[in-house]
Structure formats: structure tokens, C-alpha cells
Amino acid sequence: FDIGNKYGKAESFDAIQSKAQGQFFAVTVEGKFANGMQNFILGFNKAQKIVGIFLAPAKSNVAYAKPVYADTNLYSEKQVYVGVAGKQLAAIVTTPKNVKNFPMVVFVHGSGPSDMDETIGANKPFKDLAGGLASKGIGSVRYVKRTLVYPNEFSKPYTVKEEVLDDAAAAITAAKAVVGANPKSIYVFGHSLGGMLAPKLAATSPDVTGIILAAAPARKLSDIIAEQNKYMFDLSKDTTAENKKYLDDAIVQINKSRITQLGTTIKPDSSILGLPAKYWVDLNTYNQVNIAKSLTKKIYVLQGGNDFQVSKTDFDLWNSALSKKKNVTLKYYPDLNHLLSPQTEKGSMGQYQTPVNVAEGLVNDLAVWIKAK
């Protein structure tokens, strides 16, 4: 691919975004040329060595667009606050118009800081889902993740309780109190890490009717991060001994996160992969598959085939554990990525810069499943 021929002389390069991806960092660089723009994604390892350069998808001038299946005439949205301990989180309650006794969905984010729409690049999966479900008579609550607005709260040792579970429980309580909602029809839509933790929310909250596990790891988080790093290594096509060593070193660091107890050398605040040791011990002693197995509440497990962050390995584990249970529906969507949008390949983080809405077929499937008794 000859960039000079296509775009002419290079004029400037600016780093516009960086994102941690396991042990690697993906830095998006905006390139201005005489005849146009082309962005690049540079993959760096911990030693700040470039381990891969990818052409980012052509930057679309199209910003986020509301999906065609979200009919704003059919629902209304209201800003509220949810949360605990006097530090509340901005949230949006979406309610269908002219519908009585409607079900409610609470959206629970994946890893890392996130806004209420779960904005990633040019995509807003939670916003798509909220509008799509509301157009079919289903309300929802989505809220800003605590790590985004109160990062200072996470300077001391913490676990997923403080990061995810407490606020999800508060949002469930808020959903139950929405005027016009059926308090006996409250669903949790957990995405990625949120899906991994959804069985715990169902087990601890009597208000939860059912859970949706969307691209949810069935394995340990350490396994997922290791797999992502191997995938990025393969994608870089850099098979030099040096790059292989960086991958090996990354795996050594990832393996340190597999702890199940603290010790004399590992303190609660010891940092492993940027998270406190206490966090890893808590998560590693949690078995989401066993808890899901014990539930009698409705469960919908869904996974996309073009997801490079959580793989079919996880879906197969959910499937073998839960497929015989009458309360469980499992569905594999071959073309969906981690953001639940249709794609032609697995790709990399660069894919997320192009706006593609959550698949309409998935929204339809969820609406039918939620409404089914």
C-alpha cells in the first residue's frame, strides 16, 4: 500500500488517542497529507518499543448515528442520578411511551472507565440498545461508570464490588422504582466484565428477573488478557526474537495476576497489571460459571464470532455448562464483534473508530426473550 501515491506529501503527524490493551498500548496517530488524511495505529509494548503499525480505517466524517431501529417517537429519556455513598452517578432512564407495566434493563459496563453509553471510539452500544429496546416497549437505566467520574476513589485497594457491583445494585433499585415499570421484570445486561459479574448480581439481588451475558468471559480475566496479547502479537506479523521476548515477558507479568490469596510479599495494594492485588484475589476466587449454573432465573448468553477480545472458547464453556438448563438461552452470532456490531473480520482496536450500530437482529432477539414468560 503506497501512501505517498494515494495521499501525496506528508505534512504532520499527531497522536490523538492511546488505549491500554493488555500489556500493549495502542496509540492512534493522525496523519495529514497534501491530498488527505490517514490515521495509523501504533502498537507499543511496556518498554515503549513499537511492535506493530496498522492503517486505521479511513476516518469517517460520519459521527455516531442513531440506529434506524431506534424510533425516538416511541420513547422518552430522562436524566437522573444513581449510586451509593453520596457520590452519585449521572444516569439516563429510557421509557417506552404508551406502554404499561414494561420490563426494565440495567446496563452494566465492561472493563475500564466508561460513560453511560459505553462509548468506544465512534460507537455507543448501550445507547443503541436502550433506543432499540425502548422502541419495542422495554425501558432501561444506563449510568456513568464510577471509575470515570471518581478516579480518586480508586487510589486505595479495591475490588469489583466498589468498581461495578455496588452501583449496579443501586441502578437495579432505581429501575424497580421507575413509574410505569413492572418491578417484577428487571433484567441486567452485562457486557464483557459486566457479563462476567452478572451471575453474582442475580444471585445477590432478589429484584433481578434475568441476566444477559454479552461477550462475557467464562474463564479468568488473566486468561482473556493473555489471549488478547497473543492475538495482537500474531496480528503484528512481527516474529522477531525481540518481539517474541516481549510477548513472553508480557505473559510472565499476566501470570502474576493469577493469585488467589495475599501473602507476605503481596500486599492488598501491590499493583499487578495496573490493578491492586486485592482486586485479582477477589476476582480469581469468583466462579461465574458455577454461580450461573446454580441460578433458576432467566439467562441469555450471547457471543460474537468477530470478537477479538472475548472468544468462542468462552461461549463454548458457557454452552457446555448451561445448555441443558431450561432457563438458559445461548446464541452465537458469527459476524458480531465485541461491541455487538456486524463486521467482516476480527480486526483490531482500529475497527472501533468506525461507527457501526449494534446489530438489529440482536436487539430483536433480546426484546422477544425479555418479553417471553
The beta strand positions in the chain, using DSSP E, are 10-21, 24-33, 36-44, 50-55, 75-82, 89-96, 102-108, 139-143, 181-191, 210-214, 271-272, 275-276, 298-304, 328-333
What is the pLDDT, as a whole number, of residue 205?
96
Q: How far apart are CA 116 and CA 109, in angstroms?
A: 8
**Which of helix, strand or coil describes residue 163?**
helix
32 within domain boundaries: yes
**CB of 342 within 8 A of CB of 358?**
no
173 within domain boundaries: yes
| pTM for the predicted model, two decimal places | 0.84
192 a catalytic residue: yes
Same-domain check for residues 126 and 38: no
What is the pLDDT, as a whole number, of residue 71?
98
**Which of helix, strand or coil describes residue 274?**
coil
What is the pLDDT, as a whole number, of residue 156?
93
**CB of 303 within 8 A of CB of 333?**
yes
Same-domain check for residues 45 and 101: no
Q: How far apart are CA 310 and CA 339, in angstroms?
A: 11
263 within domain boundaries: no
Same-domain check for residues 171 and 320: yes
What the block records as the C-alpha cell of 98 is 404508551
What is the pLDDT, as a whole number, of residue 46?
67
Same-domain check for residues 165 and 18: no
Same-domain check for residues 47 and 120: no
282 a catalytic residue: no
Q: How far apart are CA 82 and CA 87, in angstroms?
A: 9
Q: Which residue out of 111, 140, 192, 341 is catalytically annotated?
A: 192
What is the pLDDT, as a whole number, of residue 87?
86
What the block records as the C-alpha cell of 292 is 450461573
What is the pLDDT, as a whole number, of residue 22?
57
> For residue 67, which phi and psi values (nearest 5 degrees)?
-65, 150
Q: How far apart are CA 17 and CA 59, in angstroms?
A: 13
67 within domain boundaries: no
Pairing of strands 139-143, 271-272: unpaired
Q: How many residues belong to the chain? A: 373
User: Cβ of 187: how many Cβ atoms within 10 Å?
Assistant: 28
Residues facing residue 50 across a β-bridge: 44
Same-domain check for residues 76 and 152: yes
Q: How far apart are CA 204 and CA 172, in angstroms?
A: 12
Q: Which residues, including other chains, have CB under 8 Å from residue 240's CB and lie 6 or more apart?
A: none
Q: Which residue out of 307, 311, 314, 341 is catalytically annotated?
A: 307
Same-domain check for residues 122 and 80: yes
What is the pLDDT, as a whole number, of residue 300?
99
Same-domain check for residues 195 and 144: yes
- 10-residue block means of pLDDT along the chain (373 residues)? 69 72 70 77 74 66 86 97 84 97 98 93 96 99 93 92 97 98 99 99 97 99 95 90 92 96 91 94 98 98 98 98 98 98 93 95 99 91
Report the domain count for the chain: 2
Domain that holds residue 88: 72-220+280-371
Q: How far apart are CA 241 and CA 148, in angstroms?
A: 38
Q: How far apart are CA 261 and CA 14, in angstroms?
A: 44
What is the pLDDT, as a whole number, of residue 152?
86
What is the pLDDT, as a whole number, of residue 21?
58
Upper half-sphere CA count for residue 41 (Cβ side, 13 Å)? 24
Same-domain check for residues 120 and 212: yes
Q: How far apart are CA 337 and CA 343, in angstroms?
A: 6
269 a catalytic residue: no
Same-domain check for residues 320 and 356: yes
- Residue in the block written with cell 490523538: 16
Phi-psi region of 144 (alpha: psi -120 to 50; beta: other; left: phi over 0): beta
Same-domain check for residues 199 and 333: yes
Same-domain check for residues 188 and 291: yes
170 within domain boundaries: yes
